[in-house]
Structure 1
């Protein structure tokens, strides 16, 4: 549904394009509809529009008169968004557009992710393409797919599709930062089968729920000390390891989102119920005290429910709980060369137990390849020690900072003149596509920047309206001041 309030915000050209794409479901690996929309958009403008073999969309716009001799620019953002919602929100990402609202300086969604990551970047590029009065050099707009769950769009983009000299990635989430480097990542998946046992008749069923956590981006927010629902659930289960019979766990969702909720189904002999409740309450109080500042809305509940029919053996549940207890989670190391930058981390993102299978999904990140594999192998050893099979997949490289980048000098100069302050030149712990794109286009000068977005990958995601105004002004000035091509 069109939201007039959002569409009326300045710059209206950007917010209208954002509202257009937010009306379209665009989950990672399910981008068919948004890809078709972008192709139609490019062709309607009369611009050269192509789709590469992995479904990235490239739209080319010639330089405006007098700008033909400037270096050519690739404007790049990803089409997919993280789909997350609060448990009490009735919303179908597969069929519904995002329900947006304005709250002061912020554009938010109603209990779901907003899609500003990276929808505002996409909307800004669309604004450049559709503008009739913006000065710019030759533009190649690159809209990649599947950034959030594997970067397969950037990975699959072959050499030869792009000819640009400079790449402007519009996927940074603090408007006072210019990004020149990022972390690489690798998916670590642990799996184990187990035999189901029949739960005795003299047992009662219980459900433990962990909810109310903030969640967030497993790269950008990993250093904030936020609660991980899978780790908290495991702590609650551990406190009753000897008396519970575990049947199911459903915790977390996507690898790149810090898990906000977890639910476990278990049973307990009637004679042990009082001990179960006492142990649970003691552990819960310790957890709530630990996260009183960072997670004020955290709740841990134990409710009696219908007794499950089956459970796993004591040996299997011990192996699971021990593995999760010892698995690396959160910040592993800080960068020795860049202040306050997380070098390596891991997010235990998804725990799914039931129907004779255990499945644990993590995302390991690091700006140093050696450290990335050190964390991944530490996880592998922990899980294999407890009888799990471990697979590595989806590995992608980091983006090494280049402080001598020519386009960096252009951006810092424009930023200082425009905003009367110096930008922070940083590297981030998130995964940007620049690292992968650089493997195919090693001579391309790359930089990343964007408007301020908070709470990405969670239902608290919100985008600053005033920051988007500054970002749009900044982008226009950058394009107007792209340097001349060097004469051969």
Structure 2
């Protein structure tokens, strides 16, 4: 499996990526990949340490002539987002990723690829294994659980690392040098409702929204892509305003850091209103498809008759739910007034689940400004609490404030221009990088982020550019040669 990937150049990078992708590594389930990296370090007879939360650090001495350079920390996260298409049968806890080459892209068959942040991990492995790459003293920091809480970075203990410069390999545009990122907070609203028995003389329908692009709930939020939970709620709200529609269950979205691509609801309608219901839904679907005709070319909304359920939500709870999801903000909340084109604050309504008397709504709120993150979080909390739901805020993590006077930034900026005859895009990103948290533990670290071009992260459309990986690999090697002196 993946032999064509192993034949790609640079082979040392793609072979390590293929090795890594044979190991199951979904977030929160990293036991196998931790052991894999530990064995890798020990097999190279390099100092290897696993901390109490599962982060792995492998240390490699400087190559001859590089001993006087500042020591460097290479950093990437081991876990990957586990998303698959509904028609794909795949167990992320048991199977390795099945990859293939599509022109200039490496893709996976129906699942996320894991290039985020697997190509960074593979880079570190290749450098640790190498015998002909010049580098200063290295600490390779492999963190866990970046995608669903950053608990690895949060659990990193002061004193474990000795490096002075941190190279984070988790940026997804090869012409970008990252100098800042957004922080985030998880918001979970939960409630209950009374179920009512379905009476005779009704028909039931399954409404399914699928085929949306999805993607990274930070990096892709600016694109205005469709959110399956908001679109489903729009359909249900319209039908319930016009007809005696009753909701039996809703299951939309999944991971907080992925824009939801799919949602399914089961509803009940009076048999006498079925014709009107179908006509109203046709109008609503047509309007949505017209609005998203440019952005969501594969959007599919189906409405099919199904088995009548035993119970539905009581009417008051249904009305409150649909109005609450309508009122809750989704998408860009504020653009940065300081950096052109950068989203400052946003929210992703990632999951809406209604079933058997329970309501669960999950959001991820991001911002590069803590006060604005708190403002939006408070706004969402107010909406959910007005609905009578309990609200929990968790997983709060800080952003990474840009430092334009960084010494390592100057090195990367000059090298990129020299190697590519163009200026790099020096920018902050609307995503959660571990630099902000690591910087709390090690405030004197000089940090920078860069990486190869990856598209569609956090979705089954994730793909990594082969030509970009070649460009990135050369860049990494030159950076290591040009680390400043102590």
Q: State the TM-score bracket (shorter-chain normalisation).
A: over 0.9
In structure 1, the partner of 2:143 is: 144
Q: What does the per-residue CA deviation read over 1:314-347, in whole Å, with 9 as the maximum and x for residues that have no partner? A: 1001111000000000000000000000000000
In structure 2, the partner of 1:205 is: 204
SS of the aligned residue for 1:343 comes to: strand
Separation in 1, partners of 2:129, 2:485: 24
What TM-score, normalized to structure 1?
Answer: 0.99
SS of the aligned residue for 2:239 comes to: coil
In structure 1, the partner of 2:161 is: 162
Superposition map of 1:36-47 within 5 A? 36-47=35-46
Separation in 1, partners of 2:400, 2:343: 14
In structure 1, the partner of 2:311 is: 310
Separation in 2, partners of 1:272, 1:358: 27
In structure 2, the partner of 1:244 is: 245
Separation in 1, partners of 2:244, 2:34: 52
2:119 is the alignment partner of 1:120: yes
Separation in 2, partners of 1:151, 1:484: 32
1:477 CA drift (Å): 0.6
SS of the aligned residue for 1:425 comes to: strand
2:255 is the alignment partner of 1:287: no
Separation in 2, partners of 1:358, 1:292: 31
Superposition map of 1:1-400 within 5 A? 2-241=1-240, 242-400=243-401
Separation in 1, partners of 2:69, 2:298: 53
Separation in 2, partners of 1:279, 1:164: 63
Query: Contact (CA 8 Å) 1:243, 1:276: kept in 2 or not?
Result: no
What TM-score, normalized to structure 2?
Answer: 0.99
Q: What does the per-residue CA deviation read over 1:76-116, in whole Å, with 9 as the maximum and x for residues that have no partner? A: 00000001111111111111110100011110011110000
Query: Contact (CA 8 Å) 1:217, 1:455: kept in 2 or not?
Result: yes
Deviates further, 27-36 or 196-205: 196-205
Separation in 1, partners of 2:3, 2:304: 44
In structure 1, the partner of 2:476 is: 475
1:194 CA drift (Å): 0.8
Query: Contact (CA 8 Å) 1:192, 1:388: kept in 2 or not?
Result: yes
Q: What does the per-residue CA deviation read over 1:418-439, in whole Å, with 9 as the maximum and x for residues that have no partner? A: 1111101000001100000000
Separation in 1, partners of 2:280, 2:379: 31
Gaps of 5+ in 2: none
SS of the aligned residue for 2:361 comes to: strand
Separation in 1, partners of 2:161, 2:195: 54
Q: What does the per-residue CA deviation read over 1:16-48, in whole Å, with 9 as the maximum and x for residues that have no partner? A: 000001011100010000000000000000000
1:281 CA drift (Å): 1.0
SS of the aligned residue for 2:285 comes to: helix
Moved over 3 A (4+): none
Separation in 2, partners of 1:186, 1:150: 9
Q: What does the per-residue CA deviation read over 1:181-209, in whole Å, with 9 as the maximum and x for residues that have no partner? A: 00000000000111111011211111000
In structure 2, the partner of 1:454 is: 455
Q: Tell me the C-alpha RMSD between the 2 structures.
A: 0.6
Separation in 2, partners of 1:90, 1:226: 26
Q: What does the per-residue CA deviation read over 1:97-138, in whole Å, with 9 as the maximum and x for residues that have no partner? A: 101000111100111100000000000000110000000000
In structure 2, the partner of 1:445 is: 446
Separation in 2, partners of 1:411, 1:233: 45
SS of the aligned residue for 1:96 comes to: coil
1:275 CA drift (Å): 2.0
1:387 CA drift (Å): 1.3
SS of the aligned residue for 2:283 comes to: helix
SS of the aligned residue for 1:457 comes to: coil
Separation in 2, partners of 1:101, 1:60: 33
Name the count of aligned residue pairs: 484
2:411 is the alignment partner of 1:429: no
Separation in 1, partners of 2:354, 2:17: 38
Gaps of 5+ in 1: none
Separation in 2, partners of 1:182, 1:335: 12
Separation in 2, partners of 1:18, 1:467: 15
SS of the aligned residue for 1:376 comes to: helix
1:244 CA drift (Å): 1.1
SS of the aligned residue for 1:236 comes to: helix
Separation in 1, partners of 2:425, 2:63: 31
Separation in 1, partners of 2:282, 2:319: 21
